[in-house]
Structure formats: structure tokens, C-alpha cells
């Protein structure tokens, strides 16, 4: 069999398994990595004498370390009660009825998902929302559904806010501050527009004078741990900001901060480790190998040549087309494989056509983060939100999701399209 066809079939098989969810995504990726190594060795693409060095060469170690370090930091600070403390403090400060608190929680969702994984952010916001909704005898459905959509908006805020951000920034050599300068203004605009859309669509009344009695410190079991975790997290963020000056790789900063959190945080390391999303880490490593095989076999080059031919008819729409392809694909396939697959393709497209690689990269960032909200199963935050509601006896159909959330997501993607066009002009 032709080698390009063979590896195309392997890739198609892996994508089908990811879409259907037949196996856990990490298992699917491990299977794909094994098939890649086996057939690449059979066809002489990999040197068996130096196989492990070649595999390691495919993996972006700094990105993997960055992901692991950020996961440990986020898990540790979440366990300190820091985010629940902020949530209850905001609820106490804004006062008013449940609808007013709902708006404040949507702001918090954006903030939390900028600093945590959208899964952790959604779990925290969902638990707080359900708890307070019971006190007010209110329906938490709209608050939780729209919070799940806004979690992916928060994922655009910083380089560390989502794994696609980390991958693109590492591959295209975008620094922490450079990422903020491009992405944060758009994320803030998107947040404001999205919140205005939600308030208008749901007719939320935020002027209620009803007060709520809560004690934010009730969720903090150990104040010493609370303060230590907060200080370490802030120091790590400062190091990220000044990474260009101190010349320390982001992955090393994240791992260093994670070690300090484990040493000084006073939490049980095994408990922290067992709570990490190791499936995502194995998935990321395995997919790096799959993409490496696609590159070695010529599949990515062949695909990129087809993309170049397509873009030659509409060169001005290159960055927008890239964003929409990534966004629509991310509505059915996990955004991590889409990001890993599209980056080398866009590198080839940029080399052949002269299109700005960084503009193409920003299209991937916006599409990958926002596209998952087009369906209720494509984004982890959506799945968590529906799970929280189901536990409370509330079922949300696909039709209800499309009616409430998809118009907002389409608006977000249109704004992203306009922003990418603006970037292509000014950068």
C-alpha cells in the first residue's frame, strides 16, 4: 500500500474513534501512536536503532512540562479553597437576588477558566451556582449553560488558559506577554459582548435588593495553606510575565512552581497526582507521535499542498478559512488533535504562500477554543455543565442547547473572524 494512503487511513481511523467516543481519547491516541511507530518502522521511516530518541524528538517537552506544572498548580490552589472563597465573596458583595449573582458568576467563570482548566472552573462555578440556587429556590439551568460557554472565552485570556494556547504559543514561539497583548483585548471584548447578549436574551433583572448571608471563609479549612498557595501561584504568574527577560523556559517555570506548591503547600502529593488529568497528558504525548508520523510519511505535506491550492483562489481569506475549519472541526473532535494537526500544515502553507504564520496560528487559537461550544459534547466544560444539571434532575436536550447557546457561539466566531482579519492588517 502507498505510504501516504496508509498513514491517511490510520489518521482517519483515529479521528473516527475520537468522534464516536468508542474508547477514551487517551487510549485512542495511544493506539494511533503504536500503529504509527509500527508501520513507520516497517516502511523504514523510523530508525529502529535510535527509535526512542526519534520519538522524543517529535514531542514538545516544554509544552508537556508546562501542561503538567499548570495542572498541579491549579489543582493545589483549587484545594486551598481560593476560588470558592472568591465566589462566595462576590456573591456576598453584589447581594441582590439569584439573577444578579448569576451575572457575577459568569464574570467569575471567565476569570477562573483563565487561570484553571475549564473543567475545574466549571465544577467550582457549577457547585456554587447549584448551592445558591437552592437557597433562592431558583432555576440554575441558564446560569450553568451560559457559564459553560463563557468558560471557553476565558480560555483565550492567557497562554496558560488552555492546552491549544500552550501548543500554538510553544510551536510559534509566542511569549507570555506577547500572547496577552494579542489575545486579552479580544477576550475582554468577547466577554462583554457575550454577557450583554446573555442579559438581553434571558431578560435578567439585576437590580433586586434582596440580600444573601454567606461566610466566604467557611470554605477555607486551612488559612495557612490558603495564603501559601495564593502567594506561590502569584509568583509563578509573575515569572511567566517576565519569561522573556529571565530566559527560563515556561515549562521549567511551571514545574518549579508545582514543586514549590508541593513542598510548601502542605497537601498530600499522592492525592494531588491522582487528581491530575493524566489522560490528557498521555493523549498529548501520543498525538505528537501521530503527527510526527504524518509528517514523516508525507501526509501533512500532501494535505498542505491541497490547502495551498484552495487558498490560492481566496488568498485574503486564508486566516479566516483556517479559523473556521478549526472551529467547526472542534465542534465534533477534541481541539487538541485539531491544533496539533493543523500547526504543521499551516507552517507549510506559510512557507509556500508567504502568509503570516502567526496570523494563521491565531486563527487556530480562536477556532479551537470557541468551536467546541457549537455542540454540547465537544467541550469538557459543556459535558461537566450538563452532568451537574442532570444530577439535579434537569435534562437539557440538543435542541435546547442549540436554541440557547449556538446563536451566542456563532456571534463569538463571527467576532473572532473579524478580529483575525484585523490582525492580518495590523501585524
φ, ψ of residue 389 in degrees (nearest 5): -65, -40
Collapse the DSSP code of 405 into the 3-class scheme (helix H, G, I; strand E, B; otherwise coil) and give the result.
coil
Q: Kindly report the number of other CB atoms within 10 A of residue 127's CB atom.
A: 13
pLDDT at 311: 66
Rounded Cα gap, residues 20 and 31, in angstroms: 15
**In contact, 301 and 308? CB cutoff 8 Å:** no
Nearest Cα neighbor of 368 from 357, 356, 380 is 380
Whole-angstrom distance, CA of residue 237 vs CA of residue 70 = 10
SS (H, E, C) 2-34: CHHHHHHHHHHHHHHHHHHCCCCHHHHHHHHHH
Q: What angle do CA 133, 134, 140 make, to 5 degrees?
A: 35
Backbone angles phi, psi at 306, to 5 degrees: -65, -40
Specify whether the CB–CB gap between 36 and 286 falls below 8 A. no
Residue 208 has pLDDT above 50, yes or no: no
Angle at 43 between CA 41 and CA 49, to 5 degrees: 35
Q: What is the pLDDT of residue 206?
A: 44
Radius of gyration from C-alpha coordinates of the chain:
22
Please enumerate in sequence order all residues whose Cβ is within 8 A of that of 154, keeping only pairs 6 or more positions apart, or say none. 109, 110, 111, 112, 113, 114, 118, 121, 161, 187, 191
Residues 6+ apart with CB under 8 A from 386: 376, 396
pLDDT 10s digits, 38-61: 888 888 887 777 777 778 888 888
Q: Are 110 and 120 in contact (CB under 8 A)?
A: no
Task: Between 361 and 381, name the one with better pLDDT.
Answer: 361
CA neighbor of 239 nearest in space, from 228, 231, 248, 230: 248
Rounded-to-integer distance, Cα 216 and Cα 233, Å: 20
> Taking 50 as the threshold, does the pLDDT of residue 209 lie above it?
no
Judge contact between 164 and 368, C-beta under 8 A: yes
User: At residue 225, does pLDDT exceed 80?
Assistant: yes
With a threshold of 0.75, does the pTM exceed it? yes
The tens digit of pLDDT for each residue in 288-338 reads 888 888 888 888 888 777 777 776 656 557 778 888 888 888 887 778 888
Q: Are 281 and 67 in contact (CB under 8 A)?
A: yes
Question: 96 pLDDT exceeds 70?
Answer: no
Q: Give the mean pLDDT of the chain.
A: 83
- 145, 385 Cβ separation under 8 angstroms: yes
Measured between alpha carbons, how far is 353 from 88 in angstroms, rounded to an integer?
52
Interval 61-82: pLDDT, tens: 888 888 888 888 888 887 888 8
23 pLDDT higher than 80: yes
Q: Phi and psi at residue 211, in whole multiples of 5°?
A: -105, 160
Query: Taking 80 as the threshold, does the pLDDT of residue 244 lie above it?
Result: no
Residue in this structure with the C-alpha cell 441558564, named with its chain if needed? 142
**pLDDT tens by residue, 157-204:** 988 888 889 889 888 888 888 999 999 999 999 999 999 998 887 655
The tally of CA atoms less than 13 A away on the side-chain side of residue 168 is: 33
Is the distance from CB of 189 to CB of 412 less than 8 angstroms? no
Count of CA atoms in the C-beta half-sphere (13 A) of 124: 31
**pLDDT tens digit sequence for 378-397:** 787 887 888 888 878 888 88
Domain boundaries, the chain: 3-58+82-219+277-426
d(CA 103, CA 98): 9
Give the span between the Cα atoms of 301 and 148, in whole angstroms: 37
- Residue 56 is predicted with a pLDDT of 80
Amino acid at each position: 500500500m502507498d505510504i501516504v494512503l496508509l498513514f491517511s487511513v490510520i489518521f482517519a481511523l483515529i479521528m473516527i474513534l475520537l468522534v464516536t467516543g468508542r474508547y477514551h481519547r487517551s487510549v485512542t491516541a495511544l493506539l494511533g501512536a503504536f500503529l504509527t511507530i509500527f508501520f513507520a518502522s516497517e516502511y523504514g521511516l523510523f530508525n529502529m536503532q535510535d527509535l526512542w530518541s526519534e520519538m522524543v524528538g517529535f514531542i514538545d517537552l516544554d509544552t508537556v512540562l508546562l501542561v503538567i506544572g499548570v495542572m498541579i498548580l491549579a489543582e493545589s490552589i483549587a484545594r486551598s479553597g481560593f476560588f470558592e472563597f472568591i465566589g462566595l465573596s462576590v456573591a456576598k458583595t453584589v447581594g441582590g437576588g439569584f439573577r444578579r449573582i448569576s451575572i457575577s458568576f459568569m464574570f467569575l467563570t471567565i476569570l477562573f477558566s483563565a487561570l484553571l482548566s475549564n473543567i475545574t472552573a466549571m465544577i467550582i462555578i457549577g457547585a456554587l451556582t447549584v448551592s445558591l440556587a437552592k437557597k433562592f429556590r431558583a432555576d440554575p439551568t441558564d446560569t450553568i449553560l451560559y457559564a459553560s460557554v463563557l468558560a471557553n472565552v476565558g480560555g483565550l485570556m492567557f497562554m496558560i488558559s488552555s492546552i491549544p494556547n500552550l501548543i500554538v504559543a510553544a510551536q510559534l514561539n509566542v511569549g507570555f506577554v506577547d500572547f496577552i497583548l494579542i489575545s486579552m483585548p479580544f477576550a475582554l471584548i468577547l466577554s462583554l459582548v457575550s454577557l450583554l447578549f446573555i442579559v438581553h436574551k434571558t431578560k435578567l433583572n439585576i437590580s433586586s435588593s434582596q440580600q444573601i448571608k454567606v461566610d466566604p471563609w467557611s470554605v477555607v479549612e486551612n488559612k495557612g495553606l490558603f495564603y501559601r498557595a495564593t502567594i506561590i501561584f502569584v509568583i509563578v504568574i509573575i515569572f511567566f510575565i517576565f519569561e522573556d527577560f529571565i530566559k527560563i523556559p515556561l515549562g521549567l517555570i511551571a514545574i518549579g512552581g508545582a514543586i514549590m506548591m508541593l513542598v510548601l503547600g502542605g497537601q498530600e502529593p499522592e492525592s494531588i497526582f491522582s487528581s491530575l488529568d493524566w489522560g490528557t497528558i498521555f493523549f498529548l504525548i501520543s498525538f505528537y507521535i501521530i503527527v510526527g508520523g504524518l509528517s514523516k510519511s508525507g501526509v501533512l505535506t500532501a494535505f498542505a499542498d491541497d490547502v495551498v491550492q484552495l487558498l490560492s483562489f481566496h488568498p485574503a481569506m486564508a486566516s479566516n478559512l483556517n479559523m473556521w475549519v478549526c472551529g467547526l472541526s472542534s465542534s465534533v473532535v477534541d481541539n487538541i488533535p485539531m491544533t496539533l494537526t493543523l500547526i504543521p500544515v499551516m507552517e507549510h502553507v506559510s512557507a509556500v504562500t508567504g502568509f503570516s504564520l502567526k496570523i494563521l496560528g491565531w486563527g487556530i487559537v480562536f477556532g479551537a477554543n470557541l468551536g467546541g461550544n457549537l455542540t454540547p459534547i465537544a467541550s469538557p466544560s459543556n459535558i461537566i455543565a450538563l452532568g451537574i444539571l442532570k444530577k439535579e434532575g434537569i435534562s437539557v436536550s440538543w435542541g435546547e442547547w442549540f436554541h440557547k447557546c449556538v446563536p451566542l457561539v456563532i456571534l463569538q466566531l463571527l467576532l473572532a473572524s473579524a478580529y483575525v482579519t484585523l490582525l492580518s492588517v495590523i501585524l
